[in-house]
């Protein structure tokens, strides 16, 4: 079992970062019970990867009896995570004051875009807005074009769900040592800013400019970026260190003097144009034959379908198939307490009766089902 074996997590179901956090905790062995809207009962798909390894109960938390079920769950829980707008849990009598009074050791994880307070706290938003405010989006892309959305990886997942999962693990340590629960206020604006710590440090030290497409790691340098090949596919290079840059030149038969001064920013645009021409002389696979596995710092740019079948990912078992759905494997890999996915995603409400019985509420199951306080899948 994983390193979070015997940890019980209540996840107030939503979309994006909070379920992703719950998935990480479930992958690591925690028992995660997803509390879903009663109107969603019976829905679900094996392709909903973020729901893997979780139990599911459908409850109407707007009703006092539904709130009582959540409070009963919290009595024996270690963690509760939610991704609602600020105030929603309080409105349903399930806020931190309500639940920590029941279980003082509870970790109450709150996942939002803007945070629990501040001028924008109650405004709607998505990943692209949160990383725009943190300075991340403005640092990505070409200077003569609008910043491109980098999927919703930086705010929702890296600076959101994964940050909350880290916070939960840290708070569990505090509970273990001091016996005290607490509230975690995880904001995607701050999580994405945290991911930019190195760039903010470089900006303050004068080795990074606040204009995108003009720095070492933002695509301006000819030796750090992606290039189109003869077949229309792409490769990536990151030959920053002098020895790696020297090997790049050797493998591409580059002997022009203009390439000698690697860090001369004034020459980067011309050198990039030069490399653009050279890379189009061969296909992506031909460049792989020349460069892959060397110290050039090289990799082909793969589609998701291609990534699944790359030999490195196959050997590492970076992907696996569950219920006929190919998906990323739990990560990171532990040498002792190995992470694993206990079961595929289930339909909403699948475990409602099981959980009600475990809470000693079996005699109320039929009544609450009839009154649509709870529902089975």
Tell me how many helices (H) and strands (E) the chain has. Answer: 15, 12
Query: Same domain, yes or no, for 87 and 137?
Result: yes
- Predicted local distance difference test score (pLDDT) of residue 1: 80
**Whole-number average pLDDT of the chain:** 97
**Nearest residue to 98 via CA among 119, 123, 73:** 73
Residue range 40-52, pLDDT digits in tens: 999 999 999 999 9
CA atoms of 154 and 17, how far apart (whole Å): 11
DSSP result, 240-297: -SHHHHHHHHHHTT---GGGS-TT-GGGHHHHHHHHHHHHTTS-HHHHHHHHTTSTT-
CA atoms of 216 and 262, how far apart (whole Å): 11
Asked whether residue 274 is domain-assigned, the answer is yes
- Helix, strand, coil share (%) of the chain residues, nearest 5: 40, 15, 45
Rounded alpha-carbon distances, angstroms, from residue 140 to 82, 94, 111, 267, 287: 30, 39, 25, 21, 27
Query: Same domain, yes or no, for 351 and 304?
Result: no
Task: Assign residue 294 the CATH number of its domain.
Answer: 3.30.1540.10
CA atoms of 163 and 140, how far apart (whole Å): 21
- Predicted local distance difference test score (pLDDT) of residue 354: 97
Asked whether residue 202 is domain-assigned, the answer is no
Average pLDDT over residues 154-177: 98
Asked whether residue 185 is domain-assigned, the answer is yes
* Domain boundary, last residue among 286, 315, 344: 315
Confidence band for 377, pLDDT divided at 50, 70 and 90: confident
Asked whether residue 330 is domain-assigned, the answer is no
Residue range 82-133, pLDDT digits in tens: 999 999 999 999 999 999 999 999 999 999 999 999 999 999 999 999 999 9
Q: Which residues are catalytic?
A: 126, 156
Query: Same domain, yes or no, for 47 and 141?
Result: yes
**Nearest residue to 24 via CA among 36, 12, 11:** 11
**Nearest residue to 58 via CA among 75, 87, 33:** 33
**Nearest residue to 213 via CA among 202, 205, 201, 225:** 225
- Predicted local distance difference test score (pLDDT) of residue 250: 98
H-run or E-run covering 164: helix 162-178
Percent of the chain with pLDDT over 70: 100
Query: Same domain, yes or no, for 49 and 128?
Result: yes
Overall domain count for the chain = 2
Query: Same domain, yes or no, for 283 and 248?
Result: yes
- Predicted local distance difference test score (pLDDT) of residue 204: 97
CA atoms of 254 and 296, how far apart (whole Å): 14
Residue range 59-88, pLDDT digits in tens: 999 999 999 999 999 999 999 999 999 999
228-259 as b/e, with b when 16 or more CB fall inside 10 Å?
ebeeebbbebbbeeeebbbbbbeebebeeeeb
Query: Same domain, yes or no, for 311 and 340?
Result: no
Query: Same domain, yes or no, for 31 and 160?
Result: yes
CA atoms of 370 and 367, how far apart (whole Å): 5
Asked whether residue 325 is domain-assigned, the answer is no
Contact in structure between 11 and 81 (CB atoms under 8 Å)? yes
Task: Assign residue 341 the CATH number of its domain.
Answer: 3.40.50.10540
Asked whether residue 218 is domain-assigned, the answer is no
Please say if the pLDDT value at position 291 is more than 90: yes
**What range defines the domain where residue 345 resides?**
8-195+336-375
Query: Same domain, yes or no, for 283 and 141?
Result: no
Query: Same domain, yes or no, for 367 and 291?
Result: no
């Amino acid at each position: 079992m994983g390193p979070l074996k015997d940890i019980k997590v209540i996840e107030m179901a939503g979309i994006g970062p909070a379920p992703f956090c719950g998935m990480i905790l479930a992958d690591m062995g925690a028992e995660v019970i997803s509390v879903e809207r009663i109107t969603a009962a019976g829905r679900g798909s094996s392709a909903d990867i973020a729901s893997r390894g979780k139990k599911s109960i459908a409850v109407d938390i707007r009703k006092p009896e539904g709130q009582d079920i959540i409070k009963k769950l919290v009595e024996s829980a270690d963690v509760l995570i939610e991704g609602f707008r600020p105030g929603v849990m309080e409105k349903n009598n399930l806020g931190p004051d309500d639940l920590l009074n029941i279980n003082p050791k509870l970790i109450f994880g709150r996942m939002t875009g803007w945070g629990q307070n501040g001028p924008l706290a109650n405004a709607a938003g998505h990943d692209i807005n949160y990383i725009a405010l943190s300075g991340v989006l403005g640092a990505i892309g070409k200077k003569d074009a609008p910043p491109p959305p980098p999927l919703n990886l930086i705010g929702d997942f890296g600076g959101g769900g994964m940050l909350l999962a880290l916070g939960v693990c840290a708070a569990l340590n505090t509970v273990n040592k001091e016996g005290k629960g607490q509230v975690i206020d995880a904001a995607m604006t701050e999580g994405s800013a945290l991911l930019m710590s190195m760039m903010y440090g470089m900006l303050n030290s004068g080795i990074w400019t606040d204009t995108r497409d003009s720095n070492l790691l933002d695509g301006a340098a000819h030796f750090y970026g992606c290039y189109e090949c003869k077949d229309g596919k792409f490769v990536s290079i990151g030959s920053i260190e002098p020895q790696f840059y020297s090997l790049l030149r050797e493998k591409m038969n580059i002997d022009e003097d203009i390439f000698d001064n690697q860090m001369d920013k004034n020459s980067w645009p011309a050198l990039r144009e030069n490399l653009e021409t050279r890379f189009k002389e061969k296909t992506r696979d031909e460049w792989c034959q020349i460069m892959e596995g060397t110290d050039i710092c090289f990799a082909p740019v793969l589609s998701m379908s291609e990534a699944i079948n790359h030999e490195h990912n196959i050997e590492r078992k970076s992907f696996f198939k569950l219920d006929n759905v190919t998906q990323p494997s739990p990560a990171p890999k532990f040498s002792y307490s190995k992470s694993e996915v206990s079961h595929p995603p289930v339909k909403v409400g699948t475990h409602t009766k099981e959980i009600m019985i475990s809470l000693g509420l079996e005699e109320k199951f039929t009544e609450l089902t009839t009154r649509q306080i709870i529902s089975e899948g």
